[in-house]
Structure 1
Amino acid sequence: MCGSPVERAGRTLRCRQRHSFDVARQGYVNLLHARIPAGTADTTPMVEARSAFLASGAYTPLADAVAAAAGTPTGLIVDAGAGPGYYLSRVLDAAPSAVGLALDVSAVALRRAARAHPRLGAVVWNLWEPWPVADGVADVVLDVFSPRNAGEFHRVLAPGGTLVVAAPLPGHLAELGELVLTVDERKEHRLEATLGAHFTRESVTEVVHTAPFTARQVHDVVAMGPAGFHLDRDDRRERLLAAPAREVTLAATVSVWRRNA
């Protein structure tokens, strides 16, 4: 609202201009002051599908790679597009002195994120707007399959801070065909174009892992993405749940970027 720092008093965040925001019973705070377009925030069924899929362990290799890339920071870790807090929790487990801030536009997702780890706070926010985070306060920013606001990444990171980005490779979930969005062959080029003005890439790790997916896992990995907005049309959800199990490939890069001055 005004950009002033906020302090917590009981279950309220309040600034010196007397703007106040209540901390929800589930532990997150909603700072949004404008409506977002329909189809932007994950819905309850999408969040349930994501949480179930991640709990199945199918993306454990990716979570391990993200945690390894983040290292063991001792300060603030901001997860941009944190969803239910799965990746941020894994990083916090490996960094016992750090604290985490989950940002996401979905209040439904952040109800889960707020309970995902004892050192994690959760704030509902539109990542394309200037973030409600002070300048230069984060040791690490995480971005796992989420929108990339390079200017805000740079602004909130401390000098020398680390940005960890996970992005799908063209072969990601390829066995699911038209059930999921196709990954652009030029995605890595676009990543460099988006971040190169503010960051220098230090390393890239490819995570490629093929494993059997049950019909439920196939449903959940489709339902947690953009297709989840449309699964209740024309019996799509029922047909997906009835589909056979199959081998599915996880293919992603985890890159480490250092903040330029």
Structure 2
Amino acid sequence: MPPVSAAAPLLCLVCRNRLGFSDGTARTLLCPAGHSFDAAKQGYFNFLVGKGTVFEADTADMVAARFDFLSAGHYRPLAGAVAELAAPVLSGGTAQNPGTVLDAGTGTGHYLRALLDRMAVDRTPTSAVGLDISKFALRRAARLNPEAVNLVCDVWQPLPVADGAADVVTVVFAPRNAGEFARVLRPGGRLIVVTPRPGHLGEIAGRAGMLGIDPAKDERLAASLEGHFSALSADNLDLPLLLAPDDVARLALMGPAGHHLDRGALASLAAALPPLTSVSARFRISVFEPRR
């Protein structure tokens, strides 16, 4: 059976016509002009064509660290909070016209999984598209969210989604293309953005070589969306964590600093840690509405 997201309003990369599944297996996307895209064996579609992307995708070991850390449930309350904010906007979906969520920077798919599970509780059909530039992440996401369409895609390029087709765009620790997000959201849709706050993981960030949090991050977020979105709400979420040494190492490796961290030094740090380390995770969840 095709996933619910067989109805997802996708656009052809070549001609920008609508894409649909060519058969009942959800393995080939085809447009009326005959351009087709086949799924990789792991279930995702690679929409990085031509020159691809200039951005550095997460590596296999970074993705593995994130998958294991998130699978352990450490950030489950964050995923639940995002899902609760999205659920009312998607609640009117029907089998013929499901609500659509675009998860930009879906990573391993854990946050989208929580949202889809939340909609399943209400038995609300939901069409989902997950985007990420890392094929290693999309291999995991496609297994975790088989009912979504998972696309290797550069968020800074024109998105392969029709105008006004999405009810919700979620962005959890990922880049934000304000113009494209505003284009694909319907009037009254919602952009939900999760960012870290100052002090996030402060107990281990310095020792583990993680990147610091810009104290002006909220101002930069507002400035990046200005002209396209109006702010509706912003809520803080603090999670006290008790992490084993391996999870401290995974937490460091799974973020952007993972591109540059010395793996040997990180292993040495983990070996020197106590059985449990107290860590404070500090998030801000901001909700925006597109300007029309």
Interval of TM-score (by shorter of Structure 1 and Structure 2): over 0.9
SS of the aligned residue for 1:132 comes to coil
SS of the aligned residue for 1:115 comes to helix
Asked if 1 retains the 8 angstrom alpha-carbon contact of 2:249 and 2:267, the reply is no
Q: Please give the per-residue CA displacement for 1:169-214, whole angstroms capped at 9, x wherever unaligned.
A: 0111111132211010000011111113111111111001222111
Give the gaps of 5 or more residues in structure 2: 1-13, 94-98
Question: Paired residue for 2:15?
Answer: 2
Question: Paired residue for 1:258?
Answer: 289
How far apart, in 1, do the equivalents of 2:229 and 2:272 lie?
43
How far apart, in 2, do the equivalents of 1:113 and 1:8 lie?
19
SS of the aligned residue for 1:159 comes to strand
Asked if 2 retains the 8 angstrom alpha-carbon contact of 1:63 and 1:87, the reply is yes
Asked if 1 retains the 8 angstrom alpha-carbon contact of 2:19 and 2:29, the reply is yes
Question: Paired residue for 1:59?
Answer: 75
Question: Paired residue for 1:236?
Answer: 265
SS of the aligned residue for 2:144 comes to coil
Asked if 1 retains the 8 angstrom alpha-carbon contact of 2:205 and 2:252, the reply is no
Question: Paired residue for 2:238?
Answer: 208
| 1:197 counterpart (221, 227, 243) | 227
User: 1:118 offset after TM fit, Å?
Assistant: 4.1
Moved more, 130-139 or 9-18: 9-18
Moved more, 235-244 or 168-177: 235-244
User: 1:36 offset after TM fit, Å?
Assistant: 2.5
Alignment partner of 1:35 is 2:52: yes
Alignment partner of 1:225 is 2:255: yes
User: 1:21 offset after TM fit, Å?
Assistant: 1.2
SS of the aligned residue for 2:258 comes to helix
Tell me the amino acid that sits aligned with residue 269 of structure 2: L
How far apart, in 2, do the equivalents of 1:99 and 1:54 lie?
23
Alignment partner of 1:119 is 2:147: yes
Question: Paired residue for 2:4?
Answer: none
User: 1:232 offset after TM fit, Å?
Assistant: 4.7
Provide the aligned C-alpha RMSD in A: 1.5
Question: Paired residue for 2:38?
Answer: 22
User: 1:129 offset after TM fit, Å?
Assistant: 0.5
How far apart, in 1, do the equivalents of 2:212 and 2:155 lie?
23
Question: Paired residue for 2:178?
Answer: 150
Alignment partner of 1:175 is 2:203: yes
User: 1:259 offset after TM fit, Å?
Assistant: 1.6
How far apart, in 1, do the equivalents of 2:182 and 2:75 lie?
28
User: 1:27 offset after TM fit, Å?
Assistant: 1.1
Moved more, 203-212 or 2-11: 2-11
Asked if 2 retains the 8 angstrom alpha-carbon contact of 1:69 and 1:255, the reply is no
Structure 1 residues 186 and 126: CA distance shift in structure 2, 3 A: same
User: 1:16 offset after TM fit, Å?
Assistant: 2.7
TM-score normalised by the chain length of structure 2: 0.85
Give the gaps of 5 or more residues in structure 1: none
Structure 1 residues 123 and 169: CA distance shift in structure 2, 3 A: same
How far apart, in 2, do the equivalents of 1:230 and 1:196 lie?
32
How far apart, in 1, do the equivalents of 2:242 and 2:174 lie?
25
SS of the aligned residue for 2:272 comes to coil
| 2:101 counterpart (77, 80, 84) | 77
User: 1:78 offset after TM fit, Å?
Assistant: 0.3
How far apart, in 2, do the equivalents of 1:7 and 1:37 lie?
28
How far apart, in 1, do the equivalents of 2:173 and 2:155 lie?
13
User: 1:35 offset after TM fit, Å?
Assistant: 2.8
Matches within 5 A, 1:85-124: 85-96=109-120, 97-124=125-152
Asked if 2 retains the 8 angstrom alpha-carbon contact of 1:69 and 1:254, the reply is no
| 1:188 counterpart (215, 218, 223) | 218
Question: Paired residue for 2:28?
Answer: 12
Asked if 1 retains the 8 angstrom alpha-carbon contact of 2:83 and 2:115, the reply is yes
How many correspondences in the alignment?
A: 259
